[in-house]
Amino acid sequence: MSENTPSIFDLTSRVAVVTGGNRGIGLGMARGLARAGATISIWSRDETKNAEAVAEIEALGVRASSVRCDVSSESSVVDACAQTVEQFGRIDIGIANAGFGTYSDPIGMSLEQWRRVLSTNLDGSFLTFREIAKHMIERGGGGKLIAVSSMVESFGAPKQPHYAASKGAVGAMVRSYAVELARHDIQVNSIRPGWIATEVLDPIVHDEKASKALLSRTPARRFGTPEDLEGIAVYLASDASRFHTGDSILVDGGYTIF
């Protein structure tokens, strides 16, 4: 390919929103999109971490900003979408990545514990998709919506029925939006990461017994890193995936098939 041939992975002039983009997997994907040329808007709650992430992304030579946003709040997501469109003129790529899990006894779990996880992981992904899709349809010209689900979509997760339910529902939501939005040239997919060494996984990564047990079941024999999610994010955000929709893609070092 000649130097002048435009790459199908080029994201120059595209604007990408990454919820939960101030650290971990979200920041890893944001870095990947930025390296492909995208302008980045980070939607997360911690303003100090937001500012640090924006500085890191800007150092890669692209425009970036952040909005203080709680994705479980409808008004917060509506405002974040309006602010981003006001600032950058458009949104081409929306990544619903913000999420968390807790380990709780499934029998003793309160409804409040259940709902807290669902409201960020599921309601937050829905609100992010809904607001960004509305904008994309109004402006025309298509777009990309990507959710970060989990491999727990497809197997039992001890002490995490709320987390597994939220991610299973996100997968179903993605397929439904994919069907609905295809006519607007909007591709909708999800990524199912395996065990990725971010802050939330620290207790497992630093527990010799637990990490040995997990890695012996992982063909790649290592934990994933946020950098391992860069490539799939760029692919799903770019023209390279223009006929690829409604899918759920594992990035797990082979854990699920072993």
Select from 185, 241, 220, 243 the least CA-distant residue to 36: 241
CA angle (104, 110, 114) in 5-degree steps? 70
CA angle (3, 32, 191) in 5-degree steps? 120
Which is nearer to ligand NDP, 100 or 103 (by Cβ)?
A: 100
The C-alpha atoms of residue 191 and residue 106 are separated, in whole angstroms, by 26
- Backbone phi and psi for residue 80, each to the nearest 5 degrees, phi listed first: -60, -40
CB-based burial, 34-58: b 16+ in 10 Å, e otherwise: bbbbbbbbbbbbeeebbeebbeebe
Is position 230 an interface residue for ligand NDP (rule: CB under 6 A)? no
| Per-residue x/- track, 152-191, ligand NDP (CB under 6 A) | ----------------------------------------
Q: Is 103 a catalytic residue?
A: no
The C-alpha atoms of residue 53 and residue 42 are separated, in whole angstroms, by 8
Among positions 54-83, residues that touch ligand NDP (CB under 6 A) are 69-72
What's the min distance (Å) between Cβ of 6 and ligand NDP?
31
Query: Binding ligand NDP by CB under 6 A: which of 190, 198, 238, 248?
Result: 198
Is residue 3 classed as helix, strand or coil in its secondary structure? coil
What's the min distance (Å) between Cβ of 193 and ligand NDP?
4
Is position 201 an interface residue for ligand NDP (rule: CB under 6 A)? yes
Is position 32 an interface residue for ligand NDP (rule: CB under 6 A)? no
Which is nearer to ligand NDP, 165 or 201 (by Cβ)?
A: 201
Is position 99 an interface residue for ligand NDP (rule: CB under 6 A)? yes
* Binding region for ligand NDP (CB under 6 A): 19-20, 22-26, 44-46, 49, 69-72, 97-101, 120, 124, 148, 150, 193, 195-196, 198-201
- Mind telling me the catalytic residues? 163
